[in-house]
Amino acid sequence: MSGQTIIHDVVIVGAGLAGSWAAMVAAREGVKNIGVLSKVHPLRSHSGAAQGGIAAALGNVRPIANSTAEDALEQVPTGAEPSDSPELHLFDTIKGSDWLGDQDKIDVLVHDAIDVIYEYEHMGCVFSRTPDGRINQRRFGGHSAPRANFAADWTGHVLLHTIHEQCLKHGVRFYSEWQLLELIIEDGVTRGVVAMDIITGEIQTLRAKAVLFATGGYGRAWKITSNATANTGDGVAIAYNAGAPLMDMEFVQFHPTGVYRHGILMSEACRGEGGYLLNAKGERFMENYAPSKMELAPRDLVSRSEQTEINEGRGVGDDKQGIYLDLRHLGKEKIMSRLPQVREIAMNFLGVDIINEPAKIQPTAHYSMGGIPTDVNGRVLANENEDIIKGFYAAGECACVSVHGANRLGTNSLLEASVFGRRAGYEIARFIKGGATLHPLNRTGANEKQEKRITKLMERHTNDRTVSLKHINDTLKQTMTDKVGIYRSEATLEEALTIVHELREQFKHVRVTDTSKRFNTDVLGAIEAENILTFSEVVVKSALARRESRGAHARTDYPTRNDEAWLKHTIAMQTTDGSPYLTYKSVNINWEKYPPQVRQY
Amino acid sequence: MDTVTIRIKRYNPDTDKSPYWQEFEVALDNEKTVLDALEEIKAEQDGSLSFRRSCRHAICGSCAMMINRKNGLVCTKSLTEASQETGLFDKKNTVTIEALPYLPIIKDLVADQSVFWQQYEAVRPWVIAPDDIPEKEFRMSQEEVDAMHGAETCIMCGACYSSCPVIAGNKAYIGPHALLKMFLRVMDPRDTEIEARLDQIATDNGAFRCHKVTNCIGACPKGLNPAQAISTLGKMALRSNRLTEERKERLKTLIAQIEASTVE
């Protein structure tokens, strides 16, 4: 039985930084009737797991004159020349993106950054401080100045709590533990969503004038991942099923320092504060790959370097699949004040105190550069011609603006989620106050379709329910790790595509053992697995088509970047038979100021 | 291969008359956490086992449960360690897992934390900043920031709340989690409503309701000390000038009553 239809002006799906910013801003701008759905309690969102910092060129801190990169920083004296600028941040991000990021959009990101940080501070965010009481900053990979604004190594946690508090202050209504099932778009106009109240198992239609997806990334498709179990790319898959395109899905970032065998994040702040990466021979191998930036090269480059060391037999650990992260020389005091959470993680999962011993790490699937294409105000683009899907918005990791291009710089993701969530909030408020109307549901049946889908999953004692969810999940994750990982080739990607197709076929026979309505995480797991299968096909197809290496997409059979053929965004659309159709869109480049260059560090 | 028995309190209010215990065997492995064991049981033995989890490293707060009769997060609890713990109710090689106590059960290990969240919202957890905000950041010393660390790093998992004997009997009590949040706001140099917050702290269901049993300290998976924060808030509320003599006397009486009831 379906419940009554719920009506809002705006429905936001996801309550991490992007969704919460959008909700808070729209509410503050006078939109009264906002509903935010989240599959976990808002404070459980994965934005809170971000550790190292959030980028903005505040210029509070600079390297001490004539020092090397490893030396200490100092606060910039009042009245001194600015030590950093949005323009430097812009160039670093363009270079980090391997020139695939849209430069006009990165320009918006780096300029809004400064306002966003001060707004966080005014809203109560507890940042670490310089001696004179300004927000403290640290170094991060690929950034040419210390511009990672931080709160020890729990930056995401304090940002998430701060923005959630502000949502409460502005009376935002939350639907905690609701699972998104379907996006309703009819005739190019957004009408609402279908979702499940996890606690009761009821399926409900929520109608709205505007829908924003802020559902996070898709890193759970890989076996070793830093992502929370919630990050199953639901919004990405569901938008795609509703006819929205997906952009640049082949670009997935592998973070260089995941906990060995667990994948849990050990912040890049470890290296920002001066940590070393060592191979089995005790060598700081980064000098062979990025002699000027060393450990603070961008993540794609560091992860590839680690993988090369591992592939050539210089890994550590029982299976030689690890690398050492050595922080001992930072000293106890610095570790305790700057990296307390990382220390706790190493103790819990490796049994190692980083004050006395190096920690074993390995590259881990971390961030999804690709996603639902949007403009700078969160409006979803319907196609390569950049037409708009009326009333549909996306922000944060599920969106692809694109500011990260082929590789994101550390600290730019908290920033992106905040900047574009905030902008989407303003845009949605303009849209609603400008007389947006609630469009009727002409083609009924979305609710019933989802109810039938769930009932079918729970059917028992039928002979064809022979496949376990574990088989689907394990096979898919192992395949994506082995064949669509840091290095890919035509051969591995073709194999992966075959397996993904087989799994999609097998999924029709998947067996769910929990048949109760109440809090059915078994059914949820099946829905999530189906979403993962949906977007994984797009990831593999997009990767197969792109015959070059750029940023996080490293093809062993096409090892160099090819600007003539591939300086363009991949756009994937679902065809009527369900398979993706690929088309391409040009990258916004300021050819006079920032033409593509050789990317060296 | 060594195995460990995972003893889980199961309950689906729609179909079960009352909660019951069910045992599962999982292979013991030094790298496994208690969460890994639960995931394994769900994937391989019983898909209907229900529990919350998300980040896997003690920052999201989803997976607080009672493990061997003590609240904590299953994601960072080593299975080997948990299997070695013995106590009044625990056998060696057995790990006992229940939902957080003092709350209604939604299903199996999933507790209904609605009251917990209502109390959190009731203390107005947001900063109430002055009207004249600076162009850039408020200036603040690292010492002032450090003083807030013990409250700022709270992940709202509810382990303290569900270990508190006051909460067990009185859901109107603000609770250790929400009081710790108030401590954060009272300590924040940017907040302008200290007086109003201390008023709320000084109500009958505020800081003075704490029996100083300090279970919250042992329960906190982040090593925080809500009891001390509550005690400090109580002192601040008492010293506050805007409290009338009559109110101070009433509070002193209340404290005396509470302390007497704790002793017995």
ipTM of the complex: 0.95
Strands A203-213 and A6-13: what pairing?
parallel
A41 contacts A181 by C-beta, under 8 angstroms: no
pLDDT, position B264: 40
Environment class of A81 (CB within 10 Å of its CB; exposed 0-12, middle 13-18, buried 19+): exposed
DSSP label of A34: E
Pick among B24, B45, B54 to test the A interface (most A CBs inside 10 A): B54
- Confidence bin at B263 (pLDDT 50/70/90): very low
Mutate to test the interface with B, among A47, A155, A161, A474 (most CBs of B within 10 A): A161
Binned at pLDDT 50, 70 and 90, residue A319 comes out as very high
Residue A487 is encoded by which pair of tokens?
């290095």
Name, in order, each residue with C-beta under 8 angstroms of A242's C-beta and a sequence gap of 6 or more: A182, A183, A184, A185
DSSP calls for A229-254: TT-S-HHHHHHHHTT--EE-TT-EEE
Q: Which of B185, B178, B130, B139 is nearest to A162 (CA)?
A: B185
| pLDDT at position B243 over 80 | no
CB of B153 within 8 Å of a chain A CB? The answer is: yes
**Which H/E stretch holds residue B4?**
strand B3-10
Tell me the mean pLDDT in the region B253-259.
68
Rounded Cα–Cα distance for residues A267 and A51 (Å): 6
pLDDT at B88: 66
For residue B137, give the nearest of A121, A152, A513 by CB distance.
Answer: A121
CB contact under 8 A, A48 and B60: yes
User: Taking 60 as the threshold, does the pLDDT of residue A399 lie above it?
Assistant: yes
Q: Which residue of B has its CA nearest to A132?
A: B141
Band of the pLDDT at A206, cuts 50, 70, 90?
Answer: very high
The tokens for A74 are 């100092």
Instruction: Quote the CA–CA distance of B27 and B47 in Å, as a whole number.
Output: 18
Per-residue pLDDT, A462: 65
For chain A, percent of residues with pLDDT exceeding 90: 93
- Mean pLDDT over the full length of chain A: 95
Phi and psi, residue B21, nearest 5°: -95, 140
Residue A3 reports pLDDT greater than 60: no
* Lowest model confidence (mean pLDDT) among A146-150, A512-516, B7-11: A512-516
- Interface test with chain B among A44, A75, A175, by most B beta carbons within 10 Å: A44
Would you call A439 helix, strand, or coil by DSSP? coil
B259 — pLDDT class (breaks 50, 70, 90): low
CA distance B73 to B58: 7
Question: Could you tell me which residues come within 8 angstroms of residue B121 by beta carbon, excluding any fewer than 6 positions away?
Answer: A168
| Nearest alpha carbon to residue A285 among A263, A260, A308, A266 | A308
> Distance between CA A187 and CA B135 in Å, rounded?
46
The alpha carbon dihedral of A30, A403, A587, A405 has a sign of negative
Q: Mean pLDDT throughout A216-231?
A: 97
Per residue in B75-127, pLDDT (tens digit) is: 999 999 999 987 766 678 999 999 999 999 999 999 999 999 999 999 999 99
Residue pair B179/B228 in contact (Cβ under 8 Å)? The answer is: no
Strand (E) or helix (H) holding A174:
strand A173-176
Residue pair B40/B4 in contact (Cβ under 8 Å)? The answer is no
Region B192-199 average pLDDT = 91
Residues B21-58 pLDDT 10s: 999 999 999 889 999 999 999 999 999 999 999 999 99
Q: Tokens standing for A478?
A: 């192992």
pLDDT digits (tens, 9 = 90+) for B119-170: 999 999 999 999 999 999 999 999 999 999 999 999 999 999 999 999 999 9
| Predicted pLDDT at A402 | 95
Q: Does the pLDDT of residue A120 top 80, yes or no?
A: yes
Residue window 120-149, chain B: list those with CB within 8 Å of chain A: 121, 124-127, 129, 133, 135-142, 144-145, 148-149
Q: Does B241 touch chain A (CB under 8 A)?
A: no
Residues in B closer than 8 angstroms to A158, CB to CB, are 152
CA distance A343 to chain B (A): 12
B47 three-state secondary structure = coil
Residue A593 scores a pLDDT above 90:
yes
- Residue A129: active-site member: no
Residue in chain B closest to A522 (alpha carbons) equals B47
- Nearest residue on chain B to A124, alpha-carbon basis: B127
Q: Please give the pLDDT value at position A294.
A: 95
